[in-house]
């Protein structure tokens, strides 16, 4: 794998590489938490493929030893974060359609649980284990500490838990522009990647992250607030601004 091109050195000891012919990606994990995340992602990719949604296909799996590696087939196209300014409206419609299809899957058929009863304790564990990157907080929260934010998360937990039951769907879990691949000519979504946090959760979890990704002028200036609003307007359920904020706060811990 020496001649494979390194794409990202993610957090938690994960490296993503692309094969020289561009047909495959390999994600390798070296630490125990990263290996656990890789297994979670592999199982979710297989499930999502079987559910009939476009995503990367698991081609090979190597475990044992210091490094575990998952090889997936390349989802053809470009990341939605690289769409040119004139095509962001078209891409936004496709991103909304993919989300609706994903959220239309039957939650009873999904074996992965990302409801607050799972994610809130996981957030607390991440804080306790020192895994939260305080330098990576959203601009509005920069300068605050992980324990402070955890307190805020707990303050809203009852309200968010009462409301999640009405809007439970199969969520991608990290639905942001770089994780959605689109056709460079039609801007139709060709598939999603990075599904390690897929599971049953409040639909606001996905709406929160994609609208934040679109509105992040420093990362994706070609989208902006207008695209974020268009996504929400297209979505079949009216979004609750309080929960959008809450799920962005929750994401700070992962
Ligand atoms: N199978 C694939 N097909 C197409 N592109 C892929 C594939 N796997 C990974 N990529 C590209 O590589 C990028 C990084 O992969 P991925 O998001 O899975 O890694 P990550 O370590 O979780 O990265 P990050 O922390 O930046 O999200 C993706 O945003 C995507 O552009
Ligand atoms: Mg990613």
Kindly report the protein residue whose alpha carbon is nearest to atom 8 of ligand 1. 25
CA distance 231 to 205: 14
pTM here?
0.96
In terms of domains, do 87 and 146 share one? yes
For residues 20-30, give the mean pLDDT: 96
* pLDDT value at residue 2: 81
**CB distance 118 to 208 below 8 Å:** no
Q: Which of 5, 13, 14, 16 to mutate to test the pocket of ligand 1 (most atoms within 8 A of CB)?
A: 16
* pLDDT value at residue 145: 97
pLDDT per residue over 67-101, tens digit each?
999 999 999 999 999 999 999 999 999 999 999 99
Average pLDDT, the chain: 96
Task: Please report, for residues 113, 191, 220, the alpha-carbon distance to residue 92 in angstroms, rounded to integers and kept in the order given.
Answer: 27, 14, 13
> Of 6, 69, 26, 44, nearest to 174 (Cα)?
44
| Higher-pLDDT residue of 254, 64 | 254
pLDDT exceeds cutoff 70 at 12: no
pLDDT band at residue 19 using 50, 70 and 90 as cut-offs: very high
The domain boundary residue, chosen from 54, 73, 92: 73
Contact 97 CB / ligand 1 (< 6 Å): no
pLDDT exceeds cutoff 70 at 10: no
In terms of domains, do 50 and 87 share one? no
In terms of domains, do 146 and 167 share one? yes
In terms of domains, do 93 and 217 share one? yes
In terms of domains, do 130 and 29 share one? no
**CB distance 18 to 72 below 8 Å:** no
Q: Which domain holds residue 122?
A: 78-251
How far from the centroid of its chain's Cα atoms is residue 61's Cα? 22
Q: Which of 28, 42, 178, 192 to mutate to test the pocket of ligand 1 (most atoms within 8 A of CB)?
A: 178
For residues 203-222, give the mean pLDDT: 96
Contact 8 CB / ligand 1 (< 6 Å): yes
Residues lining ligand 2 (ion), CB within 5 A?
179, 194
Query: In a 3-state reduction of DSSP, which class is residue 76?
Result: coil
DSSP lists the bridge partners of residue 170 as 200
In terms of domains, do 159 and 118 share one? yes
pLDDT per residue over 128-180, tens digit each?
999 899 999 999 999 999 999 999 999 999 999 999 999 999 999 999 999 99
């Amino acid at each position: 794998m020496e001649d494979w091109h390194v794409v990202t050195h993610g957090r938690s000891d994960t490296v993503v590489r692309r094969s020289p012919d561009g047909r495959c990606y390999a994600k390798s994990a070296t630490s125990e938490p990263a290996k656990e995340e890789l297994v979670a992602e592999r199982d979710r990719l297989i499930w999502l493929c079987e559910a009939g949604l476009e995503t990367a296909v698991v081609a090979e799996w190597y475990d044992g030893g210091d490094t575990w590696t998952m090889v997936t087939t390349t989802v053809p196209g470009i990341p939605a974060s690289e769409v040119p300014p004139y095509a962001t409206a078209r891409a936004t419609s496709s991103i909304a359609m993919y989300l609706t299809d994903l959220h239309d899957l039957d939650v009873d058929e999904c074996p992965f649980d990302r409801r607050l009863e799972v994610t809130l304790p996981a957030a607390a564990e991440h804080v306790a284990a020192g895994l939260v990157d305080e330098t990576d907080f959203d601009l509005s929260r920069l300068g605050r500490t992980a324990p402070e934010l955890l307190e805020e998360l707990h303050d809203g937990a009852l309200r968010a838990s009462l409301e999640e039951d009405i809007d439970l769907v199969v969520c991608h879990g990290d639905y942001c522009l770089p994780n959605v691949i689109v056709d460079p000519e039609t801007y139709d979504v060709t598939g999603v990647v990075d599904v390690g946090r897929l599971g049953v959760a409040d639909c606001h979890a996905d709406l929160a992250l994609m609208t934040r990704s679109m509105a992040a002028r420093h990362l994706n200036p070609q989208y902006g607030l207008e695209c974020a609003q268009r996504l929400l307007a297209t979505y079949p359920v009216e979004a609750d601004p309080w929960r959008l904020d809450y799920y962005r706060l929750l994401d700070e811990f992962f």
